Amino acid sequence: MTETLKQTFKKAKITATTNVLLITFVITNAINAIIVRNATIGNLFYIKPLIADITILLLIGSFAYFFKPKHRFKYFIVWSILLTAICLINGIYYKNYLSFASISLLGTLSELKGYTNALTDNILKIKDFVYVWQIFCLSFVHFQLKRIGYYEKVEPIEKRKVRFLNTIVITLIMLGFFMSMLKSVDLSRLKKQWNREYLVQEFGIYTFQANDCISYVRTRMNSMFGYDEAAKNFREFYQTKDKEVHTNMYTNIFKGKNVIVIHAESIQNWLISDDFRDGKPATFNGEEVTPTFNRLAKEGLYFSNFYSQESSGTSSDTEFTFNSSLLPSNLGTVFINYYNREYITTPKMLKDLGYNTSSMHANRASAWNRHNVHPQLGYDNMYFYKDAYEIDEEIGLGLSDSSFFRQSINIIDDINKNNDKWYTLLIMLTNHTPFTDIERWEKENDKVFDVDYKYEKKNEETGKMEIVSAPYMEGTALGAYIKSARYADTALDEFIKGLDERGLLDNTVLVIYGDHDNKQQKSLYRRYYNYDYKNDKLLDKDDPNYIDVDDYFYELNRSVPFIIWTKDMKGTKYNQEVKKVMGMIDVQPTLGNMFGFHNEFALGHDIFSVEENVVIFPSGNWLTDKLYYNSAKDAYKQIDLKSEITMDYINYYKQYTEKIMGISDSIINYDLIKKIGTNYDNELLEEESGEKSDKKQGKKG
């Protein structure tokens, strides 16, 4: 027995000392995988994803034995650069989007034009490049081995085929061990690729990325894979879906009125009504940050628990969901990858009612591929950047909101003179990350909005009370955002006044929505909510006024405003706060009820025709008035503490969420509205009758 152990140990030692480069490759890349998980989702000591990552690394490493020892470094360094890039990109991407990157997002790289400041100011930090240590470490080991003649010594004694097979066997053992740890839902979630955070948490970063590549290829070959199942699910869903058009107190109230939709870049609800500060608007030194938004919210219909449901396509996802009542794609971005599909959109339905439709933006038409997408969505005319506007004042990524709005009034006036009814979208831009350019504009125009904390303090030398300032949000990224939001609010006020002076608010409805949150980090919100001005630091966690900005707080605080306002809104029917949770997917059905159009394929609901609504996020998380459910953690935070939460309640919405996400993806990926459309009942009957006919023919034969 002792001799056997000695021989086993001796063989293991020889194997290890003659496979130094492979072992270094596996260990160093596994460490990078641990680092990226810890920097994102934080499960540092979770063994399951580590086993998955090592399995992938061993599989990659096994093919190095097809090369002679002296040539293997080239193989390993190429893979190391790729794997390091995966960790680097995902680490940075998660900071900005709270999700992990997909190969399908490569089509959106063009959107980085003009975003250089955003990357350097808010996203890229030196510590983000920590992963490159692996490349240097592998290179160092290689050159040390080369210096001592390691490769020449190994080659004569190495049996490459045997080592390849041995490594494959070890890989299969690791794979079997990993598979034994999987839960029943894991493989289903891996296939659907919805909740990226969950996949990285359970399968590791490398398995996630490999599966993402497979999913991307599969969707590109949708004519060969998945169409039949998607079409079947589509037909079954719309056969059983409630087709009744419900009416309520808001039905047709705006029928025939003109519509101005304002896409309010990065505006959030906590600026207007902060539930964590007794529903009060954000103020600095007694001055409201967004007085115009606040006034419109008070005078119109204000949906204070409204969420954008955007994914990797950010603003473009919001536009898509707003117009189609479908969720964003789980693979890629609709505006880039799936724009040439058939969708039933709000502009198209209003055109059928005799409306002229148009879109306006202060940025280039190619941004998010809008020059191709907007005609597909149903806009008759586009007025973008230099083609339609004089670039007389630029802030951030393009023409300033103030100039954009001022010049747009002339365009809207012309549209109004030449059309009985019209619908126009205006996409704001100045309040776009990185927000910092607004500080330059403030200095040049002497219109500084201070985000410090001013208070009275006794001067010890004079004995008199004087106003002093504590830094608070000055010099922070969130502080720059607040200044930028203030500018956007002022520009909106000027726009509304300009419209009113021209009589363009008469018979017109303003529809305003925040496109998504500002993507700021939790640490900045901890400072915003827990600032101790006396000591210029955060309150202690045991302080009774301390607000814990945890993951649930952060997610719930990402809500954005949705406001419907008209000049002549009076009375409680049109002037109230709607607190029921609502998503961007619900906008089209809600507006459709008010303006007199209906989309049979809408996956959202008219908010005034449902007792309880659910907001489904592209991650698989969901929200009702009772609770927020985190799909990755299979955990929830109860919001309505008076309600009893049962497992039946949770399971119902988990299943409903998967169904809606699946149907939405099928419509987008396989173009089912065009290919099947409203004939889903007839086609199914034809297929069934065809099957019966085949069976009869078979019997006769």
Helix (H, G, I), strand (E, B) or coil at 133: helix
Residues 45 and 181 in one domain: yes
Residues 70 and 124 in one domain: yes
Compute the average pLDDT of residues 634-654. 95
CA angle 26, 31, 36 (to 5 degrees): 125
Residue 193 lies in a domain: yes
Encoding tokens for residue 612? 């309880």
The strands making up 627-630's β-sheet, listed across from edge to edge, are: 615-616, 622-623, 627-630, 635-638
Residues 296 and 195 in one domain: no
- 7-16, 578-587, 623-632: the lowest-pLDDT one: 7-16
Residue 120 lies in a domain: yes
Residues 247 and 194 in one domain: no
What is the DSSP track for 598-650? Answer: --TT--S--GGG-SS--EEPTTS-EE-SSEEEETTTTEEEES-TTSPP-HHHH
Residues 431 and 536 in one domain: yes
CATH code (residue 644) = 3.40.720.10
Residues 216 and 241 in one domain: no
Residues 148 and 275 in one domain: no
| Domains contained in the chain, number | 2
Residues 185 and 285 in one domain: no
Encoding tokens for residue 585? 């997917």
Rounded to whole angstroms, the Cα distance separating 504 from 436 reads: 33
Encoding tokens for residue 566? 């008209």
Residue 570 lies in a domain: yes
Compute the average pLDDT of residues 130-139. 95
Residues 215 and 248 in one domain: no
Cα–Cα distances (Å) from 42 to 34, 197, 198, in that order, read 9, 11, 12
pTM score: 0.84
Rounded to whole angstroms, the Cα distance separating 484 from 664 reads: 35
Residues 213 and 252 in one domain: no
- 29-33, 333-337, 552-556: the lowest-pLDDT one: 333-337
- Give the H/E segment covering residue 95: helix 72-97
Contact assessment for residue 585 and residue 327, using Cβ atoms and an 8 Å cutoff: yes
Contact assessment for residue 132 and residue 85, using Cβ atoms and an 8 Å cutoff: no
Contact assessment for residue 215 and residue 193, using Cβ atoms and an 8 Å cutoff: yes
| pLDDT tens sequence across 3-12 | 655 555 556 6
- 55-69, 119-133, 474-488: the lowest-pLDDT one: 119-133
Helix (H, G, I), strand (E, B) or coil at 399: strand
Residue 65 lies in a domain: yes
Residues 63 and 199 in one domain: yes
Of 9, 68, 26, nearest to 171 by C-alpha is 26
Q: Is the pLDDT of residue 596 over 60?
A: yes
Please, what is the average pLDDT of the chain?
89
Domain span at residue 14? 2-220
> Which residues are registered as beta bridge partners of 538?
531
